[in-house]
Structure 1
């Protein structure tokens, strides 16, 4: 419990630091001496606070979505980017942009979530048909499914001259987050709370269909609930900030090594560490080439991949 409190305090400190990093000068002294119409106060309210909230919501919800997917698939190498979920959401958002361009962002996000749900369900259906003799085959199947869906998406975007738009979706970046452009991420927070409420059911479902049925739970309903949570989170983050790779893969595995596999216990840890990790990566990306920014997807992808490779090699060495 003390370590969790310490992690929360560190995350809060990172959130405060992120408010004062950027091209526009914002300082505590300037805020205390300014009025509501002053430039520093406007930058803080319109840009810095929404960006900080978007980072926290994205990091926490994506990490929890990765945890849910790993439990229902029963594989530690699965997350949105290795199960075709992110690529399916991009495909759905592209279709919505082409067919219903006048729809509000919420409607397009729901279409992207529906496509993500179908793509992830297709991934699970393929897993049932393929004899899996190695745990590494599961993410490989997901990467192949995502590659096919991504190729179709790229072809359609090229055909209708939307490749720059598609690149913007695939490159996660919080620099364009302003007040009024991040509120969809609260849906991810709602999904994270729902995952915590249903944590015991997901923990039981992770033990297999027969075990779950013997305990009186509806295995299919638990699976569908997990897929809906992962799809809504992936779609809301993609529409708002773009794709953030490796996050749902690294954080749940780190937490699992620290506190075990009981989801009721790990969800708060995953949420706090996911938010803190993305905050730290965002701050790093903003200061490395100041006043320019490195996109969050690049920083998270590089650091997350390095951490996961270390965990993978460490696990095999101990085995």
Structure 2
């Protein structure tokens, strides 16, 4: 397939995926304990869009349905999409930087840092809010960012940051923080259930405040990922080759590590730890569109959003009125696929 044909094919495929994403946003908003007709749901959602809202009539639609969509389901769906974009997009970046298909957003101890921050907030009973964000979310964000900062500075040797040292520092700090969390849980048994539930991941408390605060960070971070996609392609040739081609490797790694960590932290802060999204989605997309980051990153972002919307919908509708933590659903999908990848790679290596 020629370059122009391939580019047009990917453009068409991306438009199709956008249409599918929009359809799922409307479709899943109809699902739940209160069943809302698709036509009603579409009208209510379109009524939130500027330049359209004044042209959509909500006459004849139950006010309770309007409240359910606008205040509960729609912000939750949008937040799920943002979290999927954040985790999947960061997963691609970490895999590109580490040149390791098994890398994922939590590889630098971000999840452990977030969990430690959230645990501190729960144990200390901090109730204050800032810009509508609860103490648990704020402490989780600060814990994740602080952990990344510590790991990066521990791993840095002069002006260089060796990938292996970075990984080892992340693993060591993750174990340390996990031990501290276990210690807190031992001495605060009445808070164990709350801590465990947070670490399972959930979007049940989603609100428009969460969307408004997290969306600028995640969307701007995603744009940065796309901007540096060409440089990531060059880095796949090796750091020495990338330097010879004019890429400032250490500067690029620093920028992308910081941005990807902040994007991941902003997602974890509002949802808890949701595993396998940043590992599985980039793999699936890479199998479909190839390793070119100029194509891989945009498709991964939209696929991550779609995956999170579907899994979160399953989490809230499978066993009503009980809600399953979405992290459990993503793990049920992700773990078998991860095992499949390991077996496939093992077989490939064995066959030579």
Bucket of the pairwise TM-score, normalised by the shorter protein: 0.7 to 0.9
Q: Which runs of 5+ in 1 are unaligned?
A: 132-137
Task: Choose 222-231 or 203-212, whichever is displaced more.
Answer: 203-212
> Is 1:79 the counterpart of 2:104 in the alignment?
yes
Of 290, 293, 297, 1:263 maps to: 293
Listed one character per residue, the Cα deviations across residues 164-184 of structure 1 (whole Å, up to 9, x for unaligned) are: 443243121112212323333
Contact 1:92–1:114 (CA<8 Å) still a contact in 2?
no
CA distance in 2, matches of 1:162, 1:125: 37
CA distance in 1, matches of 2:234, 2:154: 21
Of 261, 268, 272, 1:238 maps to: 268
CA distance in 2, matches of 1:52, 1:295: 15
- Structure with greater contact order relative to length (CA < 8 Å, sep ≥ 6): 1
> Is 1:282 the counterpart of 2:317 in the alignment?
no
In structure 1, the residue matched to 2:277 is 247
Of 69, 72, 81, 2:94 maps to: 69
User: What is the DSSP-based 3-state SS (H/G/I as helix, E as strand, rest coil) of the residue aligned with 1:222?
Assistant: helix
User: What is the DSSP-based 3-state SS (H/G/I as helix, E as strand, rest coil) of the residue aligned with 1:184?
Assistant: helix
> Is 1:173 the counterpart of 2:198 in the alignment?
no
CA distance in 1, matches of 2:126, 2:258: 23
Give the TM-score, by structure 1 length: 0.84
CA distance in 1, matches of 2:111, 2:17: 28
In structure 2, the residue matched to 1:16 is 26
In structure 2, the residue matched to 1:135 is none
In structure 2, the residue matched to 1:112 is 143
Greater Rg over alpha carbons, structure = 2
Contact 1:82–1:140 (CA<8 Å) still a contact in 2?
no
CA RMSD of aligned residues (A): 3.2
In structure 1, the residue matched to 2:17 is 7
Structure 1 residue 35, shift from structure 2 partner: 7.0
CA distance in 2, matches of 1:119, 1:24: 47
Contact 1:170–1:242 (CA<8 Å) still a contact in 2?
yes
Structure 1 residue 140, shift from structure 2 partner: 8.6
Structure 1 residue 199, shift from structure 2 partner: 1.4
Inter-CA distance 26–171: structure 2 relative to 1 (3 Å threshold): same
Listed one character per residue, the Cα deviations across residues 279-314 of structure 1 (whole Å, up to 9, x for unaligned) are: 221222233213322111000011011112223323
In structure 1, the residue matched to 2:80 is 55
CA distance in 1, matches of 2:198, 2:97: 27
> Is 1:155 the counterpart of 2:183 in the alignment?
yes
Inter-CA distance 81–256: structure 2 relative to 1 (3 Å threshold): same
Contact 2:93–2:225 (CA<8 Å) still a contact in 1?
yes
Q: Number of paired residues? A: 313
User: What is the DSSP-based 3-state SS (H/G/I as helix, E as strand, rest coil) of the residue aligned with 1:181?
Assistant: helix
